[in-house]
Structures are given as structure tokens and as C-alpha cells.
Amino acid sequence: MNRSCAPFNVNAMEDDKDPILSNSTGNVSYGASANETPSETSDNVVEVENFETGPQLRSPFYWSLSRSLSNAGAAYIHSGSTKERRAAGSARRTLGTFAGVFCPIALSMFSTLLFLRGGFVVGQAGILETIAQLILAYMILVLTVLSICAISTNGAVEGGGAYYMISRALGPEFGGSIGFLFFVANVMACALYISGFVEGILQNFGPGAGTMTLLLLSRVYPTLDPLCVPGSLIGDASPGLPDDNAWWKYLYATIVSIVCLLVCLVGGAMFARTSAFILLIVVICLLSVVISIFALNHRIDVRIPFTNKVVYTNMSEDQANITGNYTGLNAATFRENLFANYTVDYNTGDNMQFATVFAILFSSVTGILNGANMSGELKDPSKSIPKGTLSAVGFTFIAYMILSILIGGSCSRFLLKNDYVFLQQINGWPPFVVVGIFAATLSAALGNLIGASRILEALGVDQLFWIFLKPATITTKGGNPFMAVIISWVLVQCILLIGSLNAIAPVTSVFFLMSYAATNLACLALELASAPNFRPTFRYFTWYTCGLGLVGCMIMCFLISPIYTSIALVIMLMLVILLHFRSLPTSWGSISQALIFHQVRKYLLMLDSRKAHVKYWRPQILLMVANPRQCCELMDFINDIKKSGLYVIGHVKVGRLEDYPTDPILDSQSHWLSLIDHLKIKAFAELTLANSVREGLQHLVRVSGLGGMKPNTVCLGFYDASEPQDTLLKTKVRRRRFFGNVEVGSFNQIEGYFGGPRDGSSPRNILSETEYVNMIKDCIKLGKNLCLCRHFNQMNKMEILESDLESYVDVWPVNLFRPETASYFDNTCLFLLQLACILNMVPRWKSKTTLRVFLMVNAQTDNTIQKEQKLDMFLRQLRIIAKIQVISWDHLQPYMRSPYIELDYDGSHMQDYYEAPDDFVKAMNELIIANSSRTAASFLYLPKPPTESALYGKYLYHLDMLTANLKPTILVQGLHPVTSTTL
């Protein structure tokens, strides 16, 4: 640090050059660029001409302003046909690779780092760590760019840029949430660059004799030495803009943001067309710095600005000449700045460290998506985005590397840390740097404000957030979304309250990193899904480049600020959950479906049915449904007993394919899926066309499921002549969700598609007794367990589960046509117990019902206590908690033709149907009814059908008589072991 009072000389500036003059105003007005990012969504919004066309006068800004002001009052919400939208979209695509991608990205990536924070980063981190930070930042950027290039070359890219690509790749849930974060990131970046612009103003024209103010004074007073400012100029009488408190800075930032607002409202298109000219200005200013460093090889004392409260601890007159050294390119200076030396940031007063300095650096190079945001205006987005983005990233990286090494080898660390705008005083003509600061920061701010408004408009057009973003879709006749611009501007004003550039930078970096992480995630998901249609023409990427980009972004997020990162993640997850339950108006295709398919296919191949073991048995049920409107309660009940197993709802449409122009099943599938969604059950729908119901059943039993997931149990409705009831109406009110209907179609469409239950859907109307019994025998022949379900139209599940009274799930593990077999448990008895136990394991059923097992005994001959103890021990071995109810069937013996029947249990004849007297069956039915007053559901033993077809009618008659007037009942026939008592 030097304190000197040297005469003013030409080493820092030539005397014959005017340091500011009147050209500074003109340069500032041209030193801005609007990276316009209109959001277009095909089939949802009209693509309109957004660039004014016409003869260019001497002042392009004046021409654009005058034209736009004349039409500023006309605004409306666009509508139109798809054909009109496509024609309008084609008219908007006027930009090539250089003007549409390279220039906006390069301008945004130069922003505040190039002229305002480059020296600060080198001074704090040192040359080596600065190079490392640049390599790390650009590695993340390049990996993200590779993902952007891959996605953008995989099909036609519409307006909306990065948001459009992410939302169409990941689906509306992730697309909407990431789009919101990307919008916030652009708003914060706009505030960041406005803060940089204001900082440049105050450093040059602020209190305490700003740099340019001193240079102006030296022109007016030739004898004035800028390094020896009188003490009076430091006090209240100091020339320059006032800066007594933070509100003055906020006022200046507001004025700049209002300028940006007006430009975006009336002349944003002009900046898109003049971005190449603005970039040329910035490059010339940068070259002036590089040439000056090589040309000025002598020492220059650079005054530290008086806004640096760390150096100027008190405002005494002897501190008016604190300076830092510019040495020219010097090996000693290079070695001094080689390593890091983190100290206090004189602007915020915070201690710097690697993460905070990296946040400042990274926030200034976050413009890689600005080219993608211009997708709606690009002639060939798939070609321009990769070439322009990669070129701009490489160009800016080289520029930053050269500048970092040059300033690290020519300026003292004290100067680099304590003067943000030191480049002005070491430049051959200082106004070059001033113009560069204003051009780079203002153009970046405009680009991000326009980009934020286009993203907000796209979110509103896509209708992801209901009507809350509807105002953002209002545009002018020229297609400019002025309401989205105004909303974005208001949010920028809120962000500006945070304060300085260095305070906003960490938040901005975190949100941009989250957006980049989402982009890498989108590309990674597309690559891992292995979808045949994902074949981008850009080949220089793989799944591990996407993965490295994703991991790198997330790691740097947490290193920069764990708090901001956690907040961003919570916001994103909340939006994902919100949009997941949202009934979205359009379907873009979700990557989650492709990933699920990929993983399910892989694991299904690993699921080997030959390795199945009884210990891990679970029900895999095929429920045959004729008309779903009369069995909604049954469908819901079966959903409870599937126990995470396969659940297939099957339906047979009787007919021949040659009688239809197309397969009628194709049109029906979506309606069945809508019904499943409406009932909130976890089931698949399998439909078939067959000449008969029996033939269709055979098809479904054989082909339903996939691989190791095949049905092992078939459920049929009961064969009776009862009047069908419409149970779908019971579910109409309570099957709604807060965020919209679950089903794809409305409830009225479901109700209209499936005919009323009286439309000839009773089993007796579509099946004969012989065909129905043969269907039962077919299921047994095909090796499937069988359930016949009856009286479920009477079930009121909500009443059972909400009642204060205890209910029972009853199990009768005995062939009721042969009650003397009660001491023996075959596969059917075990299957009965297993299904009832599974139902009782469902939390809501478990809390409101008790499992009850009935033990039928002959009080005259049986040892009742011994049998009860034996059953209790058996249930304990099966780990089934149940109440045992002992029932005597002595009073039924008079109805039996032969009370002593010789049974061959080894041959499983106990499962066979026994033609018992009608009075016995009726008495057994009355016995069940007498013990079912508080029963919620009953599981009864289903005997095998008789072999003689002449007994089919009697068989069904007895089953009907046995289950008449009971509570909801399932008759069960089991063929295979389903329980295990061993580990």
C-alpha cells in the first residue's frame, strides 16, 4: 500500500484523449442487449411476430421506440388455429447461430465478472485457485451444454427454450417445478446485473470523488492531481451522486430497472438484433485492457475508492491518497498473487472463502441457456444451439483465462482486493472500461429480464398453475408478453432489496445450478430410459457426462450455500407434489413412464417363476367383471386382499373380430383405466374379444400378467337371478380429489360409457348353468385358485370402517356340505385362512374388525375342548391372530341322509361336492345367518363342481341356498399350498 501525492502524468491516461466527454452517454445507450426468449407452446398459444421490421433510420432505438409506443395500448390474449400458429411461428424464426445464440450467451457470460469482479476473484483466490475455479465452473457448464445440445437436437424445439426442453423431457411435474426455479434464477440474475451496473455508476460518479468524476475534474482543473484530492471533496461537499445509505443505491437500481422495463416493453426486439454490435463493443473494451497491460510496463499508483470502508477506516485528510500498485507484467507480482489469501470483502464486510468467491464467479457465467431461450426465434434451433453455445463457452473461457493471468501478473493483491474498477485507471483510455461495464451488465440484465418474462409466459400458457399465471399470457399485438414483463420487473425490484452484487450472487448461483442440474437430469433420464426415439444428432455426450454434470451442480450448490440449496430443493419438491396431484390439461409424455418401463422390464426378466417359494406367496388375482357399474364395491374389496400382489380386472366382449372394422377393445381400454383411476385401486385392465365368455376367460387366465407375475387366483361373480344395483353412484362424491379428477375422462364419461346394470348384464342373462360351472372347472383345470363372490353390492365399506361397533371377518374352514370334515385342514381351508388374514392385515380393516374362525363340532362324539386347543395351536403356528368360535352342528344331523360317511382324505375327496338334502343346506344357511349379525365379510368353503353335468343345476342351487341372505361372502376353492410354518 502506497501513500503518495504525485503529479498527474500521462502514464495512466494520455493528455490528448478526452477521458469521458459526451460519447459516454451514447455508448451506454448502445451497451445493452436484450436476449429475448419468447415462450411458445404448440397447440396452446399463437406464435406471433415479435421483432419489428421496417427501414432502419439513423437511430434504431428511436425507430423501435416510436413504432412500439404507437401500438403500446393494444393488448389481448392470443388465440387461433394450429395452422395460423405454425405460420406465425415460421415468420418469427429470423435469427442465425451468431446473432441468436453466440452473442446473447457471450454477453451474458461476460456480465459483471469481466470488468467488475475479475480482479477481486484473482486477489482473493490467487491465480492458481482462480484458474481452478474457472476450470471447475466451465466443466460444469460444458457438461450441461452437452446435455442441452443432446436434448435440443432430438427433435423440433419450440419457444420457451430450456423450460420447454426440460418440461417436454421430464414431464409437467418436474418441468413445471424446474421452470419456476429457472424463472426465479433469471429474475435474480437480472437484479444481480442491475446491481453491477449501479456499482459501476457509483464507482465512477459516486461520492468521495469517483474515478470518472476525478478524471472530469482533472480536465476542468489541469493542475488537480487525482491522487491528492482535497479533504473537502471527501466530506459532505463531495462531488458525484449521493450515496449516504442503501436507499440511494436502491433508487439508482430502480431507475436502471425502469429503463430495462421500458426497453423490454417497447424495444426489446432491437437489442436482439443489435447484440452482435454490443458484443463488438465489449470485445473492443476487453482488448483495450489487454493491450494496455502489455503496453504500460511501468508502475502506476491506483487510488483506492473512498467507498472502501475497510481501507478508509476514518475519513481524515491523511487517508485521501491510499493507493494500490500496478507494476506491469512482473514475475514478482505474479508470484505474490499465485496462491489464495482470503480476507474481508470491503463491500459486504463478509469474510471470503473458496465457496463464496466461486459463487461470485459462477453467478457471472450463468448465461449458457440464453441461446436456448431464443429457440422460438432461431431459424434452425437444433443446429444453432449446439454450435453457438459451445463456441460462446469456449470464447469466454479463453478470455477469462487470459485476463486472470494478466491482471494477476501486473497488479498487487492489495489493489485487486480493494478496488473493483481498477482496470479503468490502468487502461490507456479509461472510458473504454466504463463503456464495457455498462454494456456488459445492462445487456445481461435486459437479456435475463426478457428471458424471465418468456419463461413466465410459457408457464402461464401451459396452464400448470391453474389461473394464477393467466395474466402472464396477455400480450401486445406484436406478441410481446407485457404483463409477464411487468410481473418479472416487480420481482426484480424485490430482489434488489437484498443489496449488493456480492450478496445476491450466492442465491443466483444456487438457482442456476439447480436449473443446470435439472437439465443434466433430463438428459440422463432420456439416456437411461433407452427410448428408441431418443436419438439426438449431437453425439458428444454419454450417460456419465450427464451424471457428472448433475453431481457437480448439486455438490457446488451445497458448497456455495446449504441453506439456499435446501430452500430451493424444498420449493422444487413441493411444486412436484402439487403438480403430481394436478389434473393437467395436456399430456406431453413423462420420462418417468419410460424409466419405469425400462426398470420393470429388467426386473421382470429377473423374476423367475421357477424359483417361487411358498414362504413368499402372495395373491395374484384376476377378477372377471361383466359390468363394472354393478360391482364397484367388489373391485374395491379385492383391492384390499391382494396384499401388494398382482391385481387384474378382466372383461370379455363377446363377438368376432371380422364383424368389426377395427378392434373394439382398443377404444375400451382407456375407459377401463379411467374407471380404475376413479376407484383409486391398484389394478391392471385386461380385455379380450371372444366368441363366448368361457372362451374369453380361458384367454385371460392364460395370457394375463407377464413373466413371473401371472394370476394364481380367479374371482368370479356369483350365478344368481338377483337384481343388479348401480354401485358406481355410491362412489361419485367420495372419489374426487382436491386438485382435480383422478381419471382422464370425467365421471360423466365413465358413467355414460358403461351401461346401466339392468342392461342385460346379469349372469343368468349371458351365461347358462352349464357354461358357468364349466368356467369354474376350467379355472381348476388351469391350476388357479377360485373365488365366487356374492352380496358385495350390499357392502358399505365406509360404514364398516367408520362405525364405533366391532365387526367380524368370518372364516368357515370346513366343507359345509360335509361338516364332519371339520377336523381336517386341506389347501382350501388354508387358503380361506390366508385370504381372511390378509384382509385383516390392511390397517383400516385391522383397526375396525376382528378375525373370527368357526370350529364346527359334534357335541355328542367330539372332544370339543381338545379340538379347540388343536385349532388354537394350529393358528399360532400359522401366526394368525383370530378368535375361535365353536359351533355345534348336532341339530343338523337329522337332515343328513347318512351321518357317517367314509372319507378318503388322501384322495382329497373331502373337497368334492356332496349332494346333501335341501333341508340340510337350508338349515346350514340359517346357522350361518344366526352367527353373522355383526359380520363384515364371510369366507366359506367352495366344494369342487360335480363331474356329472346333470348335477350342475343342483350344485348351483345348493350354493345359492347356502349363501342366501348372507353378508358379503366369498366361496373359496384352493389348489396349492399358500402358508408355511417354517423359517
Q: How far apart are alpha carbons 525 and 173 in whole angstroms?
A: 14
**Inter-residue contact 231 to 320 (CB < 8 Å):** yes
Q: Which amino acid is at 202?
A: L
pLDDT tens profile 333-351? 999 999 999 998 887 788 8
pLDDT tens profile 130-181? 999 999 999 999 999 999 888 888 877 666 667 887 787 777 878 888 888 8
Query: According to the model, what pLDDT value does residue 319 have?
Result: 53
Domain 796-983 has CATH 3.40.50.170: no
CA trace torsion 500, 504, 505, 507 (10° rounding):
160
Q: By CB neighbour count within 10 A (0-12 exposed, 13-18 middle, 19+ buried), where does 169 fall?
A: buried
Q: How far apart are alpha carbons 146 and 527 in whole angstroms?
A: 13
Residues 403-409 have a mean pLDDT of 94
Q: Give me the percent of the chain exceeding a pLDDT of 70.
A: 78
Q: Does the pLDDT at position 750 exceed 90?
A: no
Q: Does the pLDDT at position 896 exceed 80?
A: no
The residue whose grid cell reads 457428472 is 548
Query: According to the model, what pLDDT value does residue 283 have?
Result: 93
Q: How far apart are alpha carbons 292 and 289 in whole angstroms?
A: 5
Residues 860-867 have a mean pLDDT of 78
**Which has the higher per-residue pLDDT, 808 or 234?**
808
Beta-strand ranges (E) seen in 42-148 are: 75-77
Task: Work out the pLDDT band at 763, boundaries 50, 70, 90.
Answer: low
Beta-strand ranges (E) seen in 461-509 are: 474-476
Query: According to the model, what pLDDT value does residue 231 have?
Result: 36
Q: 855: part of which helix (H) or strand (E)?
A: strand 849-857
The residue whose grid cell reads 458428444 is 540
Q: How many CA atoms lie within 13 A of 358 on its CB side?
A: 23
Q: Does the pLDDT at position 406 exceed 90?
A: yes
Q: How far apart are alpha carbons 962 and 966 in whole angstroms?
A: 9
Strand 474-476 versus strand 621-624 pairing type: unpaired
Q: How far apart are alpha carbons 550 and 521 in whole angstroms?
A: 6
Among the listed residues 983, 903, 921, 973, the one whose alpha carbon sits nearest the alpha carbon of residue 945: 973
Q: Give me the percent of the chain exceeding a pLDDT of 90.
A: 27
Q: Which amino acid is at 169?
A: A
In the chain, CATH 3.40.50.620 sits at: 796-983
Q: By CB neighbour count within 10 A (0-12 exposed, 13-18 middle, 19+ buried), where does 808 fall?
A: buried
Q: 705: part of which helix (H) or strand (E)?
A: none
Q: Does the pLDDT at position 546 exceed 90?
A: yes
pLDDT tens profile 907-917? 445 567 778 88
- The mean of the pLDDT values for the chain is 78
**Which has the higher per-residue pLDDT, 693 or 268?**
693
Q: Which residues have CB under 8 Å from 356's CB, separation 6+? A: 350, 502, 506, 560
Q: Name the DSSP letter for residue 819.
A: G
Lowest mean pLDDT among 66-70, 607-611, 691-695, 740-744: 66-70
Q: How many CA atoms lie within 13 A of 144 on its CB side?
A: 29
CATH fold, domain 2-580, is Amino acid/polyamine transporter I (1.20.1740)
Distance of CA 446 to the CA centre of its chain: 28
Distance of CA 661 to the CA centre of its chain: 41
**Which has the higher per-residue pLDDT, 50 or 766?**
766
pTM of structure: 0.69
Q: How far apart are alpha carbons 118 and 122 in whole angstroms?
A: 6
**Which has the higher per-residue pLDDT, 944 or 66?**
944
Q: How far apart are alpha carbons 24 and 200 in whole angstroms?
A: 13
The residue whose grid cell reads 365368455 is 693
Other CB atoms within 10 A of residue 747 CB: 20
Lowest mean pLDDT among 375-389, 503-517, 693-707, 733-747: 733-747
Among the listed residues 349, 267, 276, 341, the one whose alpha carbon sits nearest the alpha carbon of residue 68: 267
Q: Does the pLDDT at position 263 exceed 80?
A: yes
In the chain, CATH 1.20.1740.10 sits at: 2-580
Q: How far apart are alpha carbons 436 and 190 in whole angstroms?
A: 17
Task: Work out the pLDDT band at 721, boundaries 50, 70, 90.
Answer: confident
Strand 2-3 versus strand 322-326 pairing type: antiparallel
Q: Tell me the CATH number of domain 614-786, given options 3.30.160, 2.30.42, 3.40.720, 3.40.50.
A: 3.40.50
pLDDT tens profile 72-129? 333 333 333 444 444 444 545 667 888 888 988 898 888 878 888 889 999 999 999 9
Q: How far apart are alpha carbons 347 and 311 in whole angstroms?
A: 11
Q: How many CA atoms lie within 13 A of 708 on its CB side?
A: 18
The distance between the two most distant Cα atoms of the chain, rounded to a whole number of Å, is 135
Query: According to the model, what pLDDT value does residue 702 have?
Result: 92
Task: Work out the pLDDT band at 268, boundaries 50, 70, 90.
Answer: low
Buried-state track 385-403, b at ≥16 Cβ within 10 A, e below 16: bbbbbbbbbebbbebbeeb
Per-residue cell: 502: 456480492
Q: 659-664: long-range contacts (C-beta < 8 A, 24 or more apart)?
A: 663/689, 664/689
